[in-house]
Amino acid sequence: MKYQAVKGTRDFYPDDMAARNAIFDAWRRVSLRNGFVEVDGPIFEYLELITAKSGEEIATQLFTLTDRGGRELAVRPEMTPTLARMVGAKAQTLSKPIKWFSMPRLCRGERPQRGRLREFFQWNIDVVGEGGPLADAETIFTAVDLLRELGLGPDDAVVRISSRPLIAAMLTHLGVAEPDHPAAYALLDKAGKMPVETMAAQWDERFADRLPHAKLVELLAAESPTALIERTGTDGPAAAPLTAAAETLQSTFDLLRNLGITEYCNFDVHIVRGLAYYTGVVFEIFDRAGQLRAVCGGGRYDNLLAALGGPDLPAVGFGMGDVPLGLLLDEKNKRPPAGDRLDAYIIDAGPEFFTQVLELTAKLREQGVACAFNYRRQSVSKQLRAAASRNATVAVIVGQETGERGVVTIKNLANQTQREMTTSELLAEAQAVTHGPDEAVQ
pLDDT digits (tens, 9 = 90+) for 286-334: 999 888 999 999 999 998 888 888 889 999 999 999 999 999 999 999 9
Check whether residue 405 and residue 327 sit in a common domain.
Answer: no
Judged by phi (left if over 0) then psi (alpha if -120 to 50, else beta), residue 12 lies in: beta
**pLDDT at 229 (0 to 100):** 87
Nearest-angstrom CA–CA distance, 134 and 149: 22
Instruction: Please write the tens of the pLDDT for every residue from 349-385.
Output: 999 999 999 999 999 999 999 999 999 999 999 999 9
Residue 299 bridge partners (DSSP): 282, 317
- Amino acid 339: pLDDT: 64
Question: Beta partners for 44?
Answer: 75
Q: Pairing mode, if any, of strands 371-373 and 392-398?
A: unpaired
Which of 289, 304, 331 represents a domain boundary (last residue)? Answer: 331
Average of pLDDT values for 225-230?
88
Residue 167 CB coordination number (10 Å): 23
| Within-domain flag for 207 | yes
4 located within any domain: no
| Residue 35 within any structural domain of the chain | yes
Total domains in the chain come to 2
Q: List, for residues 401-429, the tens digit of each pLDDT value.
A: 887 888 899 999 988 989 999 999 999 98
Cα atoms in the 13 Å half-sphere on the side-chain side of 240:
1
pLDDT: which is higher, 191 or 369: 369
Identify whether residues 256 and 352 lie together within a single domain. no
Together in a domain, 198 and 115: yes
Q: Could you give the percent of the chain with pLDDT greater than 70?
A: 95
Alpha-carbon distance of 18 to 9, in angstroms, equals 17
User: Above 90 in pLDDT, residue 23?
Assistant: yes
Residue 234: which CATH number?
3.30.930.10
pTM given for the model: 0.88
Say if residue 327 is in the same domain as residue 370: no
Cβ atoms of residues 8 and 112 within 8 Å: yes
Residue 33 has pLDDT above 60, yes or no: yes
Residue 5 lies in a domain: no
Task: Look at residue 220 and tell me if it is in a domain.
Answer: yes
Q: Label residue 188 by pLDDT band (50, 70, 90).
A: confident
Co-location of 60 and 140 in the same domain: yes
CATH of the domain at 401: 3.40.50.800
In a domain, 211, yes or no: yes
Predicted local confidence at residue 57, as pLDDT: 56
pLDDT digits (tens, 9 = 90+) for 268-281: 988 988 677 889 99
pLDDT in the model for residue 382: 96
Q: What is the predicted pLDDT for the residue at 310?
A: 81
Strands 157-163 and 265-267: parallel
In-domain check, residue 337: no
Q: How far apart are CA 188 and CA 213, in angstroms?
A: 11
* Domain final position from 274, 297, 331: 331
CA separation for the pair 174, 238 (Å, rounded): 9
Three-class DSSP category at 277: coil
Residues 123 and 263 in one domain: yes
Which of residues 331, 360, 386 is at a domain's end?
Answer: 331
Mean pLDDT score, 84-93: 92
Q: What pLDDT is attached to residue 29?
A: 97
225 lies in the same domain as 326: yes
148, 77, 160: which is closest to 117 by C-alpha?
Answer: 77
- List the domain range (segments joined by +) for residue 346: 342-440
Mean pLDDT over all residues of the chain? Answer: 90
- Decide if 234 is inside a domain: yes
Q: Are 275 and 376 within one domain?
A: no
Are 130 and 266 within one domain? Answer: yes
